[in-house]
Chain A
Amino acid sequence: MSLWTRLTAWLALIFGLTYFLLPLIGMAEFSLKMRRGVYSLDAYAKVLGDPRFQETFTYSVVMALFTIAFGVLLVVPTAYWVRLKMPWARPYVEFVTLLPLVIPAIVIVFGYIRLYNTSSWLPLTGTAMGTNVLLMFGYATLALPYMYRAVDTGLRTIDVATLTEAAQSLGAGWITVLGRVILPNVLVAVLSGAFLTFAIVIGEFTMAALLNRPAFGPYLQVLGANRAYEPAALSVIAFAITWACMGLIQLATHLSKHTKAPR
């Protein structure tokens, strides 16, 4: 390999890394500058002590957990069933699960507002609880491509048909098969889908803002329009959460390589 190739490669890498690191450094540095002249954690203290932050952040975490629970309950049985009984339908189901990547979230939530308003047949937006449920379904839709692909990839690595027959011949019903045989076998895949869902829901802005729910994303946007240093501090926290989610996915995948018996 020529020196010239090597040099260009290093230049490309350094250029890219500079571009990626500068905004992160800028964000972190800015978040520390609230007190004049010295670096301090004032912005973080102020933000973490803000009751609005605590409310909206808790709201988003709870929504993320519900979305994950609902997503797992919806996707695992479906992906399992399609693999076991309807392999011919797999391309169609997969296509449908990719649609949320094609249709922008803003269009989907626009449809929700028109379809489930107070004068419709299913007035979900009429009550706060109904809107929460609708938002949770919206999040589940956004996470569907990632969740389905993760679970389906997990199912590919196990012999679904044999496991099912073995469990059934020992007297297991469908719920036992799914909950105690299939789910533990694809747990790593489910976990990576879950962490990705968590990262998506915590920062989501469009759906929560248009459905008027007190989530973290809209709070961050309003704060950004009115304050200088606190939004930077919150962005650092949001970035740390994204890192944590991705790190946990890597960790889960890494651990699974060691627990699986060699074939």
Chain B
Amino acid sequence: MQPEQGTRRGALRRLPLVWVGIAPFVLFVTLFLILPTLKIVIGAFQAGDGSFTLQNIRDLATGSIPAAFWISIKISVASALLGCAIGFAMAAAMILGGLPAAIRGPLLTFSGVASNFAGVPLAFAFLATLGPLGLVTVFLRTQLGIDLRALGFNILSFWGLTITYLFFQIPLMILIITPALDGLKREWREAASVLGATGPQYWRMVALPILFPSLLGTFALLFANAFGAVATAIALTGSSLNIVPILLFAQIRGDVLGNPNLGFALAFGMIVITGIANTIYIWLRARSERWLK
């Protein structure tokens, strides 16, 4: 007991000097990350006069807000699910499908570029492709006689936004799942087949259970990624689609909800949802890393 107390007292005495080294960082993070977020969180629980209230949270269930959250969640789930599935298929094809090894480098580099090519330019790329005068739309109409519009497809809609989001969701999935697929040891497959397992049995009973935390964690990350995307949605749809980021953008610009504190509550709702999704991701990533050493 004695020596331990001694070192602890020593550590305490040294503490202030050691802290000086990261003081600028702590100051910056406090002023420009923690305090602004706290301001929003506290504001969500305040009435106009500054007193504590739960009314703002209750008011989230009124007007167009529940519909906005519902559409946002649907788009995020759809683009995360499809992003996971297609990204996994591409990564598995690249690593396990016997494709030439030369594909790997360029595909990973391209994924790095595409996962960062979000925002306003991405929206224009898809407008030029699937918009009313876009490359694919015009080709299908003039060459094959398929009118996307008549079939009910519109780029400014749920599916239009989901397809656009996939452009950064799939590459992100490829980047994250590749190390996990690389970590599947050849010995496991051989051990399974020695014991008489077929290919599907190996996947169902060995590979997928090992990959499951990675898959679910990446799904959560992609969900949060889509939920927080503002620029692509605004550039693509203007304000015609009622989703949470667009609603919050309009609220910050011009108080469209007519109640500043309800705006705080809306932002708070966004933090809660992306916060839960990211917590799941971080927790599951820690679990999956156990197998991948």
Residues of A within 8 A of B (CB): 1, 5-6, 8-10, 12-13, 15-16, 19-20, 22-27, 29-31, 74-75, 77-78, 81-82, 85-86, 89, 93, 96, 98-115, 137-138, 140-141, 144, 196, 199-200, 203-206, 209-210, 217, 220-221, 224-225, 228, 231-232, 234-235, 238-239, 242-243, 245-247, 249-250
Complex Cα spacing A91 to B117, Å: 30
Ranked nearest first, the 6 interchain pairs of A and B with the lowest CB-CB distance are A9-B97, A111-B36, A26-B129, A104-B228, A81-B21, A30-B128
Evaluate whether A82 and B22 lie within 8 angstroms (CB atoms) in the complex, with A26-B134, A27-B128, A108-B36 already known.
yes
Complex: how many Å from CA A9 to CA B91?
Answer: 9
In-complex Cβ contact of A23 among B110, B112, B129 (8 A): B129
Chain A residues with CB below 8 A from B93, complex form: 8-10, 12-13
Residue picked from B18, B24, B124, most chain A C-beta under 10 Å: B124
Q: Closest approach, in angstroms, between the C-beta of A177 and any C-beta of chain B?
A: 12
CB closest chain-A residue, reference B167:
A23
A106 CB, min distance to chain B CBs, angstroms: 5
State whether B135 touches A224 (Cβ < 8 A): no
Please tell me if the beta carbons of B116 and A12 are within 8 angstroms of each other in the complex: no
A86 in contact with B18 given A205-B231, A224-B235 (CB within 8 Å): yes
B109 to nearest A CB, angstroms? 6
* Per-position binary interface string of chain B over residues 120-138, scored 1 when its CB falls under 8 Å from any chain A CB and 0 otherwise: 1111111111100111100
Q: Which residues of B contact A200 (CB under 8 A)?
A: 116
Contact B126 A103 (CB under 8 A): no
Closest residue of B by beta carbon distance from A199: B116
A27 & B249 in contact (Cβ 8 Å cutoff): no
Q: A residues within 8 A CB of B86?
A: 15-16, 19
Residue pairs across A and B with CB atoms within 8 Å: the count is: 247
- Complex interface: chain A residues within 8 A of B123 (CB): 224
CA distance A77 to B28 in the complex (A): 13
In the complex, which residues of chain A have a beta carbon less than 8 angstroms from the beta carbon of B25? Answer: 74-75, 78, 93
The B contact surface, by secondary structure, is helix
19 A-B pairs besides A27-B125, A113-B252 with CB distance below 8 A are: A5-B96, A5-B97, A6-B99, A8-B97, A10-B97, A22-B135, A77-B24, A103-B274, A104-B228, A105-B228, A105-B230, A107-B40, A141-B32, A217-B231, A224-B123, A224-B127, A225-B238, A232-B128, A238-B121
CB neighbours (8 Å) of B234 from chain A are 205, 221
B33–A108 contact, CB under 8 A? yes
Question: Across the two chains, which residue of chain B brings its CB closest to A95?
Answer: B282
Specify the main secondary structure of chain A where it touches its partner.
Answer: helix
Pair A99/B33 contact, Cβ less than 8 Å: yes
List residues of chain B with CB within 8 A of the CB of A210: 249, 252-253
- B39 beta carbon closer than 8 Å to chain A: yes
Specify which chain B residues have a CB less than 8 angstroms from the CB of A217 in the assembled complex: 119-120, 231
Smallest beta-carbon distance B135→chain A, Å: 4
Residue from B28, B112, B278 within 8 A of A74 (CB atoms): B28
**Which residues 203-252 in B have Cβ within 8 Å of A in the complex?**
224, 227-228, 230-231, 234-235, 238, 245, 248-249, 252
* CB < 8 Å neighbour of A221 from B35, B112, B133, B231: B231
